Structure 1
Amino acid sequence: MAKINPDVDFIPLNIAVMVVSDSRDESDDKSGKMLEKLLTADGHNLAEKKIVIDDIYEIRAAVSQWIADPDVHAVITTGGTGLTGRDVTPEAMKVLYDKEIEGFGEVFRMISYDLIKTSTIQSRAIAGLANGTVLFTLPGSPGACKDGWQEIIKHQLDVRVMPCNLVQMMPRFKEK
C-alpha cells in the first residue's frame, strides 16, 4: 500500500486513453472502458479516448497530439504490446520519449509474474516521459489494465504518494 502525505491535496489529472487494436471498436472494447472506469473512480478526468489500428504512424500521430496538449497530463495505451507482427505499440511509443522509465516495465512484469507466471515474458509494457507528459503502455487485456492501474499507475499519478511520484516531476505541477 502506498504511503499518502495527508498534508498534500489530491490533484486530479487529465488522462488520455488509447486502445490499439485492429479488431476492437467502442462496442466491444473492454480494456479502454476498464481504464476509463478506474481512472475516473480514483478522481482523475478522462481527457479523451481513441481506438486506433495497430499502425506505428497512427499511434504516434495520436499520442503526439496529446503530448503537445498542455491540458493532457498522462497517456495510457492498451494493446499492441505482444510479439506478433502487428504488435507495434512499444516501437511507436519509444521514439516519442524524452526519457524512458525502465522500472515501470520491470515492476509490471514482477506483479504479472505472480498471476500468470512465465507468460509475463511476453509483456512489453513500458513507460516514458515526453514534454512533461507521462506515457504508459499496457498490454491489451482488461486484467493487465486493472493490474497496471491498481498496482502502479494510480499511485504514481497521485501527488500525495510518498516518498515520490510522477506528478511531482510534471513541469506544470512542480513546486515553485
Structure 2
Amino acid sequence: MSQPHPDAAAIVKCAVLTVSDTRTPDTDKSGDLMRSRLATAPHQVIASALLKDEPESVRSQIAQWVAMPNIDAILINGGTGIAPRDTTYEAIAALLTKTLPGFGELFRMLSYEQIGSRAMASRAIAGVCRSTLIFSTPGSSKAVELAMDRLILPELIHLTTQMRG
C-alpha cells in the first residue's frame, strides 16, 4: 500500500468533472465518489460539473477552471476508453504542458491486478496545465476508487506543493 508523501498537511482545492453521455447528477456515482474521497481527505471541492463527452465542452470547462487561481487540481472521470464517443483523452492531452506518464502506467498496472488484460484499454492520463494538476480516470466507480485511494490522494499534497514552487 502506498504511503502519502511526508509533506506538511495542506488542503488542496479541487474541481471535479464527470464526462458522460448517459449519467445525470442523480446517477453520477463516480463524481460523488471523487467528491466524497476529497472531502474525507480533507480537501476542498471548489467546483463540480457533469458534461457530455464533447471535446470542446470538456476543454472549455477545464480552461475556465485552470484560469481560477483558487483551483489547484482538476479530477476528471469518464471518456477514457476507446469507443468512438470516448474523447476525453484527446481533449485533455492537447491542454497539458507537462505530462505525468507514471500516473497512467501505474493505474493500468494496478487495474491489471483487478481486471486483467482489459486494463490496456484505459487511457487514464495526468499532467499539468499551466499550474493546475489534472487527473483523468475511467468513469467506472471501481476505477475511480482505485485511482483516488492508491494514486491521487497519496500524492495530491506533494504534487500541488511542487507546483507552487
TM-score computed with the length of structure 1 as normaliser: 0.90
Q: Which residue of 2 is the match for residue 14 of structure 1? A: 13
Match of residue 162, structure 2, among 151, 164, 169:
169
Provide the alpha-carbon RMSD of the alignment.
Answer: 1.1
Give the paired residue count: 164
Q: Which amino acid aligns with 2:160?
A: V
Q: Which amino acid aligns with 1:113?
A: Y
Counterparts of 1:109 and 1:148, CA distance in 2: 10
Confirm or deny that 1:66 pairs with 2:65: yes
Cα shift at 1:4 = 4.8
Confirm or deny that 1:51 pairs with 2:50: yes
Structure 1 unaligned segments of length 5 or more: list them: 159-164
Regions of 4+ moved over 4 Å: none
Counterparts of 2:141 and 2:37, CA distance in 1: 11
Aligned sequence identity (%): 34
Tell me if the contact between 2:5 and 2:155 (Cα under 8 Å) persists in the aligned partners. Answer: no
Counterparts of 1:104 and 1:141, CA distance in 2: 17
Q: Which residue of 2 is the match for residue 161 of structure 1? A: none
TM-score computed with the length of structure 2 as normaliser: 0.96
Tell me if the contact between 2:13 and 2:43 (Cα under 8 Å) persists in the aligned partners. Answer: yes
Structure 2 unaligned segments of length 5 or more: list them: none
Cα shift at 1:16 = 0.4
Q: Which amino acid aligns with 1:167?
A: T
Q: Which residue of 2 is the match for residue 140 of structure 1? A: 139
Tell me if the contact between 2:97 and 2:127 (Cα under 8 Å) persists in the aligned partners. Answer: yes
Q: Which has the larger radius of gyration?
A: 1
